[in-house]
Structure 1
Amino acid sequence: MKNEIIIFSGIEPGKKGAGNLVYFFLDRLKINYVEFKLHFNKTPDGFLIRQLKNFVPRNLSKSLYYSFYRFFFKSSENIINRKVILFHPQSIGLELSINLIRNNFVYIYVFDNFLFCRKSYNYIDRNKSCLLCLKDKDAYLKYKCDFFPVKHNPHKYDDFLLTISNNLSRVHFLTQNRNQSNLLYQKFGPIPNLTQIGMMVDMEDVVFNGKKTVKKYDFLYHNTLIEAKGIFYFLSIAKLLRNYSFIVPFSLKEVRNLIPDFEDFENVDFLSIKWNTGLKEILINCQVVINPSLWSAPVEGALLKSIKFNGCVAVVTTEYSFQSEIPSNVVIKLPDNLVEASKILNDVIDSEKIRINYKNEAKKWFDLYSKDIDISFDKFIQEEFN
C-alpha cells in the first residue's frame, strides 16, 4: 500500500528499554490508525547467543550477532519515495540505512549519540562525558575509540553521516529531549526537520517470577552493565560508604568480566536478576536508587522506572544529558567528585524527610512527563501520517 509507513528497527520491539520504546511508538501508531509495515532484528537472547557469550567477550558476541543478522536484514522490496522510520541505524546496517535515506523521506528516531560518537555512548574517562568529535571528526583517533555495540567499516560510517548531511531536507530527526536536539544542531548545523517527541517505556506491572526478597537495601544500581552507565562510579561510592548496603543486579562473575581486577566489598551484594525476577521489588523497597550514567544520556528507561516506582533517585549531571534538564527537587544531583557525592548520599540516607520530599516531587513530575509524552507522540503522528 502506497500510504503504508515502512519501519526498520535494529531492535526487537518490547525487548528491554530501547525495544520498549519501539513497542510504545508502534502502539501509538495503531491508536492513531496509521498503517505500517515493520522489519526488525531479533534481540540476541537465544540459546546459541548465550552459549557464545560463554566463550567470547559480551560486546564481541553482540557484534558478531548483528553482523550475521544484517546479512539477512535486507528488504527485497524496491523502496523509493516512501515515508520510512529508522530505529537504531547502526543495528539495521549502514549500507541499508544509506540507501533508504537517499531514496525516501526518512524519520530517524535518535536513541544514543551514534550520529557523532562511534562508541554511541560519548564517554572516555571514568567520570567524564566527551564531545570532542562534534568539533573534530578525527578526535577518536587520540583515544582509540571503536564502534559499539556493533562494529562498522569506518569509511561506511563517514558515508552514512555524509549522506544525512547531504539529504537534510529528506531527513526528519525525532529526539528525546532538549539537550539531544542541541547536540544534533551542533553536529549538522541548521536542521529543517526536527521534532522533540520524548521517550517512554512500558510501565505496566509485570508478573513477579522469582522469590520474594526480604532484604531492603540502602542503594541500588539501576542501569545496564556498561562502563558509560556508571558501574565504576557506583562501586566507588560503595567503597566510600562502607556502613550502608548496596546491590548490583548482576552476578559478581558478570561484573568481573567487565572489571577483571574488581575488589569485592562486604557491603555490596551481586544478584543476577531482571525486572520480573526480583529487581522491581528491590527497587521499590530500597532507600535510594542510583542511575549514574556518565555520558550525555538522553531519556533512559531505567531512570523513568526508578522515578515512577521509587522516587528517591540519584543521578550524575553530565553535560548535555537529560538528567541535567530534570529539576533538582525531583532527583538528587551528584557531582563527578566521588567524595562530594558520597557526602550528599550520606545526608539523604540519614534523613527520611528528605527522601519523602524527593518521592513526592518525583511523582508529580512523572505524572506530568508521561501525559506530555502521550500528547507529543500523538501530535507528531497526526501531523505527519494522517
Structure 2
Amino acid sequence: MVTIIQWNARSIFSNAAAFEQLLACENADMALISETCLHPTRAFRLSGYELVRCDRNQSTGGCAIAIKNPIPYTVIDTAIPERWKQLIQLVAIKVVIKNQPLHVASIYFSPNFPRGMNDWEGILTQLPHPLLLGGDFNAHNLSFGGLYTDNRGRKLADVQDIMGLSALNDGTHTYIPRPNQRSSALDITFVTAVWAPECYWEVLENPCGSDHCPIKVDIKKSDSTPSAVQVGGWNIKRADWDKYQSAMINQLEDFNTETNSLPYHEFTEIINKAADESIPRKYANFNVHRNRRQRPWWDLECNGANLEYLGKFRHYRYGGNFATFLSMSQSQAVCRRLFKRKKKENWKTYCENLNRTTPMTEVWRKVRSIKRGIEIKKRSTSE
C-alpha cells in the first residue's frame, strides 16, 4: 500500500513542525503540497523527505512534492507558458508501484486567475498517464463537492473528461473559512480512471495550522503487500566477486588495449552488465517501516497542546462562531510556539550531553533524527 498526503499548506515554513508529525503518524510515502509560499531563494527541508519544488517569484502560491527517502523517482519536465507562471505552478514526478509506473503531480491555481483566460487546459493535458494529480484548483463544481459551479470548475470538468480522469473527492469540504464565509471543496484529487478502484480517499481533521484540511489517499495495487522498488545501486555486501571477474574477462577478451579504443559508454555498459550478473540490486519497500514514529522532540506537552487545538478546531468547524474561531487561532499560535521551542530545547539538551567519548555513530543518528531532511529541487534516478 502507498500512502499519499495532499495538503494546501498556506505557508509550509510556518506549519512544518505540525505537518512533519502528521506525515510520521500517517506513514506517508509522498505528499502533494500546494500554496507552499516559498521564495525560490529560500531553503527549506522536510524531515525524512526529498522535495521537488515549483516556486513563484514572490513568497506566495507555489507547490511541491515530498518523497520519502529512499524511494526513487524521476522528475518530469512540465512546460508552462510564461504568461501562466505566476498564476499556475505545477511539478510532477514518476514512481513505480507494483512494477507499474505512476506519474504523480502537484498543482496550484491562483484565485486571481483572469476570468477570460480559458486556454490553460494544455498545461494539464501534457501530463502522462497513468496519473495522480492533486492540488488546490480554486475551482467550484457541484460534481467535486462545491456549493455551485463556476467557469473554471466547468472547464476543469471538461479537461477531466478529455484526459480520462476520475475525481476521488466524496464531497467533503477541505477549505475551512473564517466566520461568515462558506467552506468549499477546493482541493481536488484526480486519478487515471483504471486506478480509481485501487484508491481510498479521505479528509483528515487536522489542518496542521492551515485553513485547509489534508487529504489522505491510499493506493492498493493487486494485494496489500509492500511494493518493492529498485533504489538504483548494487548491494556490494552480497556480491559474487569471482563471478564478476569472470564476466568482465569474458566481455573484454576480444578487446586489445594496445590497438583498440573502446568508447567510454560501451565500457560502462560492460561494467554494468557484469555487475547485474553477479551483484544483486538494492531494493526498498513503500511503507517498509509501518511503526508510527513521532518526532524526537514530541512529548506529552506537545501532544496535549495539539489535542486541545484539534478539539477547538472541530468545535469551530461544526457550527462555530467568531468566538470559537478566535479560540482556535489562539490555540494554533500556542502550538506553533511550543513546537518551535521543543525542537530547540531537544537539540540543546542533546548537545550539552555530548563529550569526547560519545561515539560518532550516535552523534550522526541524532542529527539524522532531528534535521529536516535534504532539499532537492530537481533530481532523477538516472543521475
State TM-score, norm by structure 1: 0.27
**Structure holding more helix per residue:** 1
Rg bigger for which structure? 2
State TM-score, norm by structure 2: 0.27
Q: Answer 1 or 2: higher relative contact order, Cα 8 Å, separation at least 6.
A: 2
**Structure holding more strand per residue:** 2
